[in-house]
Structure 1
Amino acid sequence: MTIAPSIAAESEAAVADSTVTPPTVDPLAWLADAAAVRADAGLHRELLVRQADSPAINLASNDYLGLSGHPDVIAAAQRAAARFGAGSTASRLVVGTTAAHDEFERDIADFLGWPAALCFSSGYLANVGAITALVGRGDLIVSDAGTHASLIDGCRLSRAQVVVVGRGDVDAVAEALRTNAFRRALVVTDSVYSIDGEPAPVAGLYAAAHAAGAALLVDEAHALGVRGPGGRGLVAELGLAGAPGLIVTTVMSKSLGAQGGVVASSTLVREHLIDCARPFIFDTGLNPAAVGAAHAALGILRANPELPQRLRTAAARLAAKCGGHEPAAAVVSLIIGDPHQAVAIAAGCRAEGVLVGCFRPPSVPAGTSRLRLTARADLDDATVDHVADVVNRVRAQVMSA
């Protein structure tokens, strides 16, 4: 009896006998032209490699409380890695949920004032996962124009109808909910806008959503450790922690100095995300070292509730010295306008040992390229004054050239 070769064997034979003729024209050649266009517009980007022993003063990071290098946070990361290994080894639903994950989720939920919380591998995935699990086709999202890219992408991937309203426009949110038919509706906003650190009208947005039977999702990435009682965020500051129809997302990568994202809400929301949030189900769980580090940082914040005020004081001093608006959070935004000049100023500051953020389109609207200076709770007055002197001097040199 003749046995037919397996499909795999036939496939291997076909590959061995085939020859490939390279195309005469590279189908990716257009990338060079696109790169040239970006460079002409001042939008080319390069990675800045940060050395471990760099003496530069870093005001470009989101390490708001200065805890990423805290010895207790580093030691906790090392203990977690020694206990559970370098990686979580699988998705959270298989064996990627360690005791470290469970302990942290319970503690962060309690700290934020919610019944439950769920960890994701990043804040980006937490936002995408929460939005896409809560709404879909036939549903409505009303999105604040000032929201972070992760919220925008979550809205796009949800396949729901999306109505974008002006930044902080509560009346427009109410109008969109009133004039659009929906099965379910979700209002989406940052609590503190990431570019300039200004707070959103969260209380008004919640009232508008609640009146229309819609839920509200608030990204507290730039409010955790910065606003609210003991750094619990703007939602807690407004007395809305634990409110029905409200979902909070936040991160472990800013004030907690580690990495990862969190969704905090009701137990029902947590259970739904475990069952339905694709970035949770199909992603490898956050590594134990990051969880251990974030948990230790949360403990430091609990034990030192004065840290957020210390941070905001440093931000206010920095803004006053640099001529920026008095900040409501940690970010001082200095609008330059021209992206080439913004890049030149950031480079000049870097050459003098000061790292500042440089934000250009599409991160900000055209014509509003800016420096983004991030204060930290561990900055003393002398350091803030030195940073301001460098920024002011380099800015004046570039702008007058």
Structure 2
Amino acid sequence: MPDKFAFIDAELQARQILGRRRFLQTTEADQGAMLRIGDRPMLNFCSNDYLGLSRHPLLIERARQFTARFGAGSTSSRLICGNHSFFEPVEERLAALKGTEAALIFNSGFQANTTVLAALADRESLILSDRLNHNSLIQGARLARCRIDIFDHNDMDHLRKRLAVRQREEFSRILIVTESIFSMDGDQCPLDELVAIARASGAILVVDEAHATGVSGPQGMGLTCGKGVDVVIGTFSKACGAFGAYVAGTRKMRDYLLNCCAGIIYSTALPPGVLGAVSAALELIPGMQAERKTLHAHAGDLRTALDRLGWDCGRSTTHIVPVMAGRENEAVSLSAHLAENNIFAGAIRPPTVEENKSRIRLAVTAVHRGEDIEKVIDAFARWSR
């Protein structure tokens, strides 16, 4: 009898041959921007904890308080008996900070992106998606089982052309889907232009703010604030230092998702301790302007120095600084060189990025010091290409 799991061996072997087989590596958070791998301290340039809030005393204490008061788990979907008293105050606070009528909390950014797009589109819909959108947005579009068109990255002329062609056809609705700050490239979408295009065409504009929430825009609450974006999706797992996600928009949109989005209907709600940490983060973030200023200054210094050394940082204008290596083996070797210098910065390779666009993704945080930035610059300067 054939081995029914032969496909697993074949897939893993294929990835091994390509050098793309993934493995888990245990890490432990240390002081400041440091982490430990085994007994080895490393300077961490991989973390999305952009403001250092994951270890902030207020988040830790609020998580402890909520757990002690409400329990370790929410026990149910919010539509059954899991809509505890702490959810809606957090959503109201979030909506006020985002400048929207309402907000709705989800369990993760991946869950939100996959299930919200599937809820907004039907089989007769059209989704126009930026070429460099995160995998979760791609999966969400596929789950909708509708027509999907890809427009070139941040190319508004190409988007208009795709719209012009497709508007000759009959679609129940059209969605334009993008990110405000792109996770692997660190550049921003042309948001004002996207809003204008969506309004002129009658399309629903969906923007993922995962890497902008906490670090960019008014009070650090994202680039979409006050822009009139139809559907804003973001996470609490990056600059907010906790876990979970949100959708911000109109009250009508919130009501629709409560009734039609599988990610809300069929999933147990986030644990109380997580909501406690989120509530603390939303209190702190508006007042963290100094931390955001430090973060952006360090990122600017890093890009400038790497550019002078001849490194290509792509289109980055934010705290996410990609250093282009091109070939996969070059990215892997460069990551190993950084590790030898006690800098933890992994190689990003296909399928996460396109072929021949492998890179080192440097994530600058507010807890990095000037000497940390200098150490990274020095390591790149000593790499022999």
- In structure 1, the residue matched to 2:28 is 51
Q: How does 1:1-400 map to 2 (within 5 A)?
A: 23=1, 25-53=2-30, 54=36, 55-180=41-166, 181=169, 182-236=171-225, 239-240=226-227, 243=228, 246-323=230-307, 324-325=312-313, 327-393=316-382, 395-396=383-384, 399=385
The CA deviation at 1:89 is 1.2
Q: 2:251 is aligned with what amino acid? A: T
SS in 1 for 2:88: helix
Alpha-carbon shift at residue 391 of structure 1 (Å) = 4.2
Aligned partners of 1:130, 1:275: CA distance in 2, in Å?
12
Which whole-Å CA distance do the structure 1 matches of 2:326 and 2:297 have between them? 27
Query: How far apart in 1 are the matches of 2:89 and 2:180?
Result: 26
Report how far residue 140 of structure 1 moved. 1.2
1:186-239 Cα shifts (integer Å, max 9, x gaps): 110011111111001121122111111111000011111222122121122xx4
| Preserved contact between residue 221 and residue 286 of structure 2 (Cα < 8 Å) | no
Describe the SS at the equivalent of 1:94: helix
Closer, same or farther: CA 80–357 of 1 in aligned 2, 3 Å: farther
1:235 alignment partner, SS class: coil
Structure 2 residue aligned with 1:10: none
Q: What is aligned with 2:33?
A: none
Alignment RMSD: 1.7
Identity %: 37
1:20-77 deviations in whole A, cap 9, x for unaligned?
A: xxx3x31222333332322232212211211245232211011111111111111111
C-alpha distance after superposition, 1:83-123 (max 9, x if no partner): 21122111121122222222211111111111100010001
Distance (whole Å) between structure 2 residues aligned to residue 299 and residue 134 of structure 1 = 31
CA shift in 2, pair 1:206/1:368, >3 Å: same
Does the CA-based 8 Å contact 1:88-1:287 persist in structure 2?
A: yes
Q: One-letter code of the match for 1:188?
A: V
Q: Distance in 1 between matches of 2:381 and 2:85?
A: 49
What CA deviation, in whole Å up to 9, does each residue of 1:152-172 have, x standing for no partner?
A: 111110122111111112122
Query: In the aligned structure 1, how far is the partner of 2:13 from the partner of 2:381?
Result: 31
Task: Report the residue type matching 2:132 in the other structure.
Answer: G
Gaps of 5+ in 2: 31-35
One-letter amino acid of the counterpart of residue 91, structure 1: S
Q: Is the 8 A contact 1:121 1:285 kept in 2?
A: yes
Secondary structure class of the residue paired with 2:361 = strand
Q: Match of 1:307, SS?
A: helix
Distance 1:184 1:306 in 2: 43
Q: Secondary structure at the match of 2:55?
A: coil
Q: Secondary structure at the match of 2:175?
A: strand
The CA deviation at 1:317 is 1.7
Amino acid at match of 1:49: T
After the TM superposition, list the runs of 4 or more consecutive aligned residues in structure 1 that deviate by more than 4 angstroms: none
1:249 Cα deviation (Å)?
A: 0.5
Measure the CA separation in 2 of the matches of 1:340 and 1:275: 48
In structure 1, C-alpha distance between the alignment counterparts of 2:294 and 2:81, rounded to whole Å: 40
Q: TM-score, normalised by structure 1?
A: 0.87
User: Which range moved further: 192-201 or 124-133?
Assistant: 124-133
CA distance in 2, matches of 1:204, 1:292: 37
Conserved? CA contact 1:315–1:327, under 8 Å: no
8 A Cα contact 2:198 2:204, kept in partner: yes
Deviation at 1:346, TM superposition (A): 2.0
Q: Work out whether residues 233 and 247 of structure 2, in 8 Å CA contact, stay in contact via their aligned partners in 1.
A: yes
Q: Is the 8 A contact 1:312 1:328 kept in 2?
A: no
Structure with larger Rg? 1
Q: 1:197 touches 1:329 (CA, 8 Å); kept in 2?
A: yes
Q: Is the CA contact 1:230–1:306 (under 8 Å) kept in the aligned structure 2?
A: no
Q: Which residue of 2 aligns with 1:11?
A: none
> Equivalents in 1 of 2:28, 2:215: separation in Å?
27
